[in-house]
């Protein structure tokens, strides 16, 4: 099976890429059928991704050992570049890990794809949601002049995102990290003639650069520290092993990862990158503006897939983070803060898509909060939430798109209402998605959010959960040698201590205390209530009450076509059922535990038996119920539009309405000084550089102006000039030949 998986995984990115190329080449000729190549490519990729998932699942089940045997399949396509003798600089902080990465190790960048449970899961989500969004777009984008361009970009995005999660090398991750950013930029600015869209695209691009900068520096540091950028181990011809950063060899080594200042720096830089891509505070400002793009693109990129790249990156690098508890806690703090801040802002938004955008930021914050616990439960909960969130947030966005399509582009919730009479399918599916987001009992969001809360709670109250995993706790996170046996090749010397090994703590580590997580837990719980409130506020404002339709709607005011409602229904079923199925069977949790990154001893040590925490579930449900009730009361008593809300909120109102003044702060602190600098540079360019160039350019002109006067048109003046020249020559000769 693994052989076929190694072949199939190549097809997953390849097919959308071919679809994108075909769309670019044939788009104009296909006209209204321009979606066909992209759709075929993504659809085939989705089917292949499902096969990959099934194959990987079979592999995981095949290993009956407990804890789960790590499963990974590496396919090296070709070697992108090899830099001979690219030595690792012998910095003051120590020597590279092991004997393999010596000072003259060649630096090679293999283009290799990997399949492990994490990648397989995400590939299915990316291609599956991508397929549904593409089908939906046939109806939504119908008649748009950029129809082929849209599908080419969507297919291109699916390719890039698949490569991002399938790449087995930090440099490739960086490349496709940028590629998805580029696709995002192009799709946000899809309607580039609209100034807001162009500005939003630019903003997204620039804010993401801050994060990308972090990833670049983190990559450099990784190379400096570990001497390779590969995730996996490489077996060289002479039988030695070059241990990859996330390879089995290093994972099974207790001292395999660098902690201390360097490790924390790497982790924090990766967190910066994740903050940029996943729109976490303080780099979240681009995502709400990104709603200027077409709604299907928002659903696919800015809700379901691309924005979860940060979650993927942190999960993939889990072993690195485990060694730096301080950085890990920062991940949690950033996540919980983002969740709360975004949820608060969402409560006062009147733009349906912006509510959903802030909700996305908030839910991503949840995932980060879970990741920051650094436990097996936390990581699996984050990915679980990622999966369910992809379903229900894509559903909500597509539902919002359906509403927008019917309302003729109007998305302000104050201008329409009672749409359930007009669009029953959209209303029903939207309510299901909202229930899932709010965490209503049987729907998907309830279970994933419950797991996140459980993960936070177990960090906040270790004593209460001690009984859960006392039997598997191993001091220092070191596993018996037997577990790592097969990977301990003779040539790999583990005695070389990595720099800054576990011992030296960083000041940041002091944050890793139960008290911190108690705060984070209560923040998250409050956020859960807020989530329910703003979600159902949107539902009530849009779908209940008397029917109101803005005049822009015109003849569009009806239920959307089948291409659009079909994906809605599929996603609604997934949003409703996926959480329950995955939670009850614990299939996802056990599956993900076989991911190499999560098989580090320190993480395996935190694994707890799968359990349903009734007390936490009651707390979460209570919060959701209160939120929905407040929304209902607010909506039915007095309309929950801005005037009434402002009166309730009092001084908090302006702060929320201005989104905590983030944009204003950036404008004053960053944009304005940079603009001033740019102005200075522009002036220097115009009046110094340009002036110098112009002056040089004027020199021949001036000479010409002088010499031009010689051309008098008088033949005899020319002859005279010639004679004077002859005379000069004769004089010179006479002078030379003087006696």
Partner 1 sequence: MIPAPLLINALLVGAGLFCLGLVGILTRRNLIVMFLCAELMLQGVSVTLVAWSRYHGDWGGQVLTVFVLTVAACEAAVALVFVLQAFARTGRLDAAAWQSLREETLPRVIDRELPEGDAAGPTWPTLTPAGVRPPEDASHTLEREHV
Partner 2 sequence: MDPATVPAPSGLLLAASVAMLAAALWLLLPKSSDTLASRRLGILLGALALVGFAATGRSLGSVGENGVFLTVSAVALVSGLATVVTRSPVYAAIWFAMALAGVAGVLLTLGAQFLGVATIVVYAGAILVMFLFVLMLAQPSGMAPYDRVTNEPMLAASAGAVLLGLLSMSIGRLSAIEPPACCRMPSRADAIASGSAAPVSPEAGDEVARLGAELFGRHLFSVEVAGILLLVALVGAIAVVSRGEAAAESGREAA
Is 714 a binder of partner 2 (CB under 8 A)?
Answer: yes
Separation between Cα atoms, residue 233 and residue 253, nearest integer Å: 13
- Please, which residues have CB within 8 angstroms of residue 519's CB and are 6 or more apart in sequence? 336
- Which of 136, 155, 277 has its CA nearest to residue 207? 277
717 binding partner 2? (CB under 8 A): yes
For position 731 contacting partner 2 by CB under 8 A, the verdict is yes
Q: How far apart are CA 732 and CA 725, in angstroms?
A: 11
| Ranges assigned E (strand) in 302-417 | none
Residue 669 beta carbon to partner 1: minimum distance, rounded to whole angstroms: 57
Cβ closer to partner 2: 31 or 722?
722
Cis ω before 553 (30° cut-off from 0): no
Cα–chain-centroid distance for residue 483?
Answer: 34
Compute the least distance from the CB of residue 717 to partner 1, in Å. Answer: 9
How big is the site for partner 1, counted in residues (CB under 8 A)?
11
Name the residue with tokens 């990104």: 290
**Contacts of range 457-465, beta carbons closer than 8 Å, 24 or more positions apart:** 457/521, 457/613, 457/616, 458/373, 458/375, 458/377, 458/608, 459/332, 459/373, 459/375, 459/378, 459/514, 459/517, 460/514, 460/517, 460/518, 460/520, 460/521, 461/514, 461/518, 462/514, 465/608
For partner 1, give the closer residue by CB, 652 or 723.
723
In the list 581, 622, 679, 727, the residue contacting partner 2 (rule: CB under 8 A) is 727
Residue bearing tokens 């089908």: 135
* Shortest CB 718 distance to partner 2, Å: 11
**Does 732 interact with partner 2 (rule: CB under 8 A)?**
no
Report the partner that residue 708 touches, choosing among partner 2, partner 1, none (CB closer than 5 to 8 A by kind). Answer: partner 1
Q: How far is the CB of 703 from partner 2 (least distance, A)?
A: 24
**Chosen residue from 193, 711, 716, 736 binding partner 2 by CB under 8 A:** 716
| Min dist. Cβ of residue 729 to partner 1 (A) | 15
Quote the CA–CA distance of 447 and 385 in Å, as a whole number. Answer: 8
Residue of the chain from 712, 729, 736, 738 that contacts partner 1 (CB under 8 A): 712
Could you say which DSSP state residue 593 is in?
A: T
Is residue 737 within the footprint of partner 2 (CB under 8 A)?
yes
- Quote the least distance from Cβ 731 to partner 1, whole Å: 15
Closest to 209 in 3D by CA, of 318, 297, 110, 283: 283
Should residue 720 be labelled a site residue for partner 1 when binding is judged by CB under 8 A? yes
Among partner 1, partner 2, none, the one that 712 touches (CB under a kind-dependent 5 to 8 A) is partner 1
Nearer to partner 1 by Cβ, of 467 and 716: the residue is: 716
711 makes contact, choosing from partner 2, partner 1, none, with CB < 5 to 8 Å by partner type, with partner 1
Question: In whole angstroms, how close is the CB of 735 to partner 2 at the nearest point?
Answer: 10
Q: Which of 699, 715, 729, 734 binds partner 1 (CB under 8 A)?
A: 715
Evaluate whether 521 touches 527 at the Cβ level (below 8 Å): no
Q: Which of partner 1, partner 2, none interacts with 706 (beta carbon under 5 to 8 A by kind)?
A: none
Contacts for 517 with CB less than 8 Å, ≥ 6 apart:
332, 373, 456, 459, 460
**Cβ at position 727, least distance to partner 1 in Å:** 10
Q: What angle do CA 625, 626, 628 make, to 5 degrees?
A: 65
Q: Which of partner 1, partner 2, none sits in contact with 730, Cβ below 5 to 8 A by type?
A: partner 2
Residue with tokens 């459980």: 454
Residue 361 near residue 659, CB atoms below 8 Å: no
* Residue 467 or 712 with smaller CB distance to partner 2: 712
- With contacts defined by CB under 8 A, how many residues of the chain interact with partner 2? 13
Distance of CA 20 to the CA centre of its chain: 21
State the Cα–Cα distance between residues 404 and 353, nearest whole angstrom.
9
Output the smallest distance, CB 710 to partner 1, in A.
8
The site partner of 709 among partner 1, partner 2, none (C-beta below 5 to 8 Å per kind) is partner 1
Contact criterion met (CB below 8 Å) for 197 and 62: no
Binding track, positions 400-429, relative to partner 2; x by CB under 8 A: ------------------------------
691 belongs to the binding site for partner 2 (CB under 8 A): no
Residue 497 found at the interface with partner 1 (CB under 8 A): no
Return the number of the residue (677 or 726) whose C-beta is nearest partner 2. Answer: 726
Q: Which pair of structure tokens corresponds to residue 342?
A: 């975004």
Q: Which residues contact 25 (CB under 8 A, 6 or more apart)?
A: none
From 146-154, 299-307, 547-555, 716-724, span contacting partner 1 (CB under 8 A): 716-724
Is position 710 an interface residue for partner 2 (rule: CB under 8 A)? no
Q: Which does 652 bind (CB under 5 to 8 A by kind): partner 1, partner 2, none?
A: none
Q: Are 27 and 19 in contact (CB under 8 A)?
A: no
Q: How far apart are CA 739 and CA 734, in angstroms?
A: 9
- Distance from chain centroid for Cα 209: 13
Q: Residues 650-689: x/- map of binding to partner 1 (CB under 8 A)? A: ----------------------------------------
Question: Which residues in this chain contact partner 2 in the complex, by CB under 8 A?
Answer: 714, 716-717, 720, 723-724, 726-727, 730-731, 734, 737, 739
Binding region for partner 1 (CB under 8 A): 708-709, 711-716, 719-720, 723
């Amino acid at each position: 099976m693994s052989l076929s998986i190694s072949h199939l995984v190549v097809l997953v990115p390849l097919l959308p890429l071919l679809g994108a190329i075909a769309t670019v080449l044939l788009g104009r000729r296909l006209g209204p059928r321009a979606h066909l190549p992209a759709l075929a490519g993504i659809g085939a990729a989705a089917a292949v991704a499902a096969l990959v998932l099934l194959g990987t699942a079979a592999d995981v089940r095949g290993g009956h050992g407990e804890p789960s045997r790590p499963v990974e399949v590496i396919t090296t396509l070709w070697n992108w570049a090899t830099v001979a003798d690219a030595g690792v600089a012998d910095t003051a902080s120590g020597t590279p890990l092991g004997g393999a990465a010596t000072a003259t190790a060649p630096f090679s960048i293999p283009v290799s794809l990997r399949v492990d449970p994490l990648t397989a899961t995400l590939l299915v989500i990316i291609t599956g949601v991508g397929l549904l969004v593409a089908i939906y777009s046939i109806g939504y984008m119908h008649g748009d002049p950029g129809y082929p361009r849209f599908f080419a970009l969507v297919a291109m995005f699916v390719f890039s995102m698949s490569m991002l999660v399938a790449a087995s090398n930090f440099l490739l991750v960086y490349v496709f990290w940028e590629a998805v950013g580029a696709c995002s930029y192009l799709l946000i600015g899809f309607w580039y003639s609209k100034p807001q869209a162009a500005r939003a695209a630019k903003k997204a691009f620039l804010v993401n650069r801050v994060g990308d900068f972090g990833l670049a520096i983190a990559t450099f540091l990784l190379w400096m520290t570990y001497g390779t950028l590969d995730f996996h181990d490489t077996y060289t011809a002479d039988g030695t092993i070059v241990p990859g950063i996330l390879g089995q060899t290093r994972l099974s080594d207790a001292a395999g990862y660098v902690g201390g200042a360097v490790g924390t720096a790497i982790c924090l830089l990766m967190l910066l990158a994740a903050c940029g891509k996943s729109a976490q505070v303080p780099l979240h400002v681009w995502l709400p503006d990104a709603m200027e793009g077409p709604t299907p693109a928002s659903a696919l990129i800015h809700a379901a897939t691309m924005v979860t790249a940060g979650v993927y990156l942190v999960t993939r690098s889990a072993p690195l983070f485990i060694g730096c508890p301080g950085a890990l806690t920062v991940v949690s703090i950033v996540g919980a803060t983002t969740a709360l801040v975004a949820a608060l802002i969402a409560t006062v938004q009147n733009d349906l898509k912006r509510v959903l955008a802030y909700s996305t930021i908030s839910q991503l914050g949840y995932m980060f909060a879970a990741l920051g616990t650094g436990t097996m439960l936390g990581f699996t909960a984050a990915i679980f939430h990622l999966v369910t969130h992809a379903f229900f947030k894509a559903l909500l966005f597509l539902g919002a798109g359906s509403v927008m399509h019917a309302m003729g582009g109007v998305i302000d919730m104050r201008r329409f209402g009672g749409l359930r009479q007009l669009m029953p399918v959209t209303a029903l599916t939207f309510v299901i998605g909202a229930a899932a987001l709010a965490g209503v009992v049987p729907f998907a969001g309830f279970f994933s959010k419950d797991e996140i809360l459980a993960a936070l709670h177990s960090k906040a109250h270790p004593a209460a959960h001690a009984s859960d995993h006392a039997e598997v706790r191993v001091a220092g996170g070191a596993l018996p040698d037997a577990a790592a046996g097969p990977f301990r090749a003779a040539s790999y010397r583990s005695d070389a201590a990595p720099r800054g090994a576990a011992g030296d703590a960083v000041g940041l580590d002091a944050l890793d205390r139960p008290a911190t997580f108690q705060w984070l837990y209560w923040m998250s719980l409050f956020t859960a209530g807020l989530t329910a409130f703003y979600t159902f506020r949107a539902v009530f404002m849009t779908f209940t009450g008397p029917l109101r339709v803005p005049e822009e709607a015109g003849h569009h005011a009806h239920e959307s076509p089948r291409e659009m409602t079909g994906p809605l229904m599929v996603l609604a079923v997934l949003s409703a059922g996926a959480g329950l199925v995955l939670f009850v069977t614990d299939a996802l949790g056990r599956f993900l535990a076989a991911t190499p990154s999560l098989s580090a001893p320190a993480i395996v040590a935190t694994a707890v038996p799968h359990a349903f925490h009734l007390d936490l579930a009651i707390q979460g449900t209570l919060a959701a119920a209160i939120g929905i009730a407040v929304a209902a009361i607010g909506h039915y008593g007095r309309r929950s539009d801005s005037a009434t809300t402002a009166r309730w909120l009092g001084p908090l109102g302006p702060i929320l309405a201005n989104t905590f003044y983030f944009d204003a702060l950036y404008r004053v602190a960053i944009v304005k000084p940079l603009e001033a600098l740019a102005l200075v540079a522009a002036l220097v360019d115009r009046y110094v550089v340009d002036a110098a160039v112009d002056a040089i350019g004027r020199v021949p002109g001036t000479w010409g102006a002088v010499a031009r006067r010689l051309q008098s048109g008088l033949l005899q003046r020319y002859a005279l000039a010639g004679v004077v020249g002859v005379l000069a020559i004769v004089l010179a000769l006479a002078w030379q030949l003087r006696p």
